[in-house]
Amino acid sequence: MNTHRSGNDGGAGLLSTAAGVVVFLVFLLFAVQLLFGLYASSTVTAVTNDAAHRAAEGGAPPLSLIEADARRNLGEIGDAAQFDWSTHDSDGDGEADTVVLLVVASPPRFIPPSIGGALGLDEVRRTVRVRIEAFQP
């Protein structure tokens, strides 16, 4: 049995192993950021759509109540989200007939903003337009 060791091989794989672990963790954090971003994007889209539809209903509650419910449905993201409500005259008759809601929210961060911003993971921006329901006698 040969037990002779070369004196130059001690710790040879340490740097490459450490670099491999760092690269693995970077990819893992990127995957987590991507999943949270996709979840936040779909949640913000759904909540924005629901809020705009509620505001366009006949006999709708005040916008402050609808916005408070939307913020609650968004959870922690909703605390810092920006809601911009407006109406629009889409048929040109001089009367507002469309509710427009713009929501801008920032999902949780797991990677530095300099990397996430370049990949489009920095904020979720959704605009929803819904025709106002009006009772026709």
Domain that holds residue 93: 18-131
Q: Specify the DSSP class assigned to residue 122.
A: S
Q: Is residue 4 part of a domain?
A: no
Q: Which residue has the higher pLDDT, 114 or 51?
A: 51
Q: How many CA atoms lie within 13 A of 114 on its CB side?
A: 0
The amino acid at residue 59 is G
Q: Give the residue ranges of DSSP H helices in 57-102.
A: 63-74, 76-80
- The pLDDT value recorded for residue 33 is 85
Q: Is residue 11 part of a domain?
A: no
Q: Which long-range contacts (CB under 8 A, 24 or more apart) does 84-93 make?
A: 85/55, 87/132, 88/129, 90/129, 90/131
Q: Is residue 6 part of a domain?
A: no
- The pLDDT value recorded for residue 58 is 80
Q: How far apart are CA 49 and CA 104, in angstroms?
A: 13
Q: Specify the DSSP class assigned to residue 110.
A: S
Q: Is residue 39 part of a domain?
A: yes
- Confirm if 108 and 79 have CB atoms less than 8 A apart: no
Mean pLDDT to the nearest integer, 27-40 = 87
Which of left, alpha, beta for 105 (phi over 0: left; psi -120 to 50: alpha)? beta
The domain total for the chain is 1
Q: Which residue has the higher pLDDT, 73 or 121?
A: 73
Q: Is residue 1 part of a domain?
A: no
Q: Is residue 121 part of a domain?
A: yes
Can you give the CATH number for the domain in which 53 is found? 3.30.1300
Q: Is residue 48 part of a domain?
A: yes
